[in-house]
Amino acid sequence: MKVALGCDHGGFELKQEVIKYLKENNIEFEDYGCYNTDSVDYPVYAKLVANAVVEKKADRGILICGTGIGISIAANKVKGIRAALCHDCFSAEATRLHNDANILAMGGRVVGPGLAVKIVDTFLNTEFSNDERHIRRISMIEE
C-alpha cells in the first residue's frame, strides 16, 4: 500500500499527524506538499495527489485543507477519482465498501488528530465490497 498525501495551509498541521501514523505503521507514502503553513491554493495539491492516484503512483490518496471541501471538490474533477470527505469512521468505512473511494479528504479545522487518525486507519484498512450493485453504481458515475 502506497499513499499519496497533500494539503494546503489549513491542513498542514493535521497532515503531520497523518504522517506520524503512516510512519508508525510502516505505510509507504509520498508527500506532494504543501510543506509549511504559508497560504497556498488547495487545487494545486488536489491535482498532484489525484494524478498520482490515477497514474497508479499511489494506491490511495489523502487530502487535507481547512474544511476538506475545496480540496475534495478539486480532486473529484480528475477522471477516475472518487474523493470522499469523511469526518467519522462510519463514512470512511462505507465509502470504501460502497464507493471504492480512492481519496480520503478531511478538514484540518474540523476534526481533531485523534479522530482523524482513526478515520485514516479505517479508510486504509477497508477493502471494496466488490458487490455487483456497487460496481454498477460506480460505473454509472464514470459514464
Per CB under 6 A, 42 contacts ligand RB5: yes
Containing 116, the helix (H) or strand (E) segment is: helix 113-124
Instruction: Identify whether 7 is a catalytic site residue.
Output: no
Q: How far apart are CA 117 and CA 134, in angstroms?
A: 26
Question: In angstroms, what is the minimal distance from the CB of 28 to ligand RB5?
Answer: 26
Per CB under 6 A, 66 contacts ligand RB5: yes
Q: Residue type for 13, please?
A: E
Q: How far apart are CA 64 and CA 66, in angstroms?
A: 7
Q: How far apart are CA 82 and CA 50, in angstroms?
A: 9
Question: In angstroms, what is the minimal distance from the CB of 27 to ligand RB5?
Answer: 25
Per CB under 6 A, 6 contacts ligand RB5: no
Instruction: Identify whether 65 is a catalytic site residue.
Output: yes
Contacts to ligand RB5 by CB under 6 A: 8, 10, 42, 65-67, 69-70
What is the set of active-site residues? 65, 98
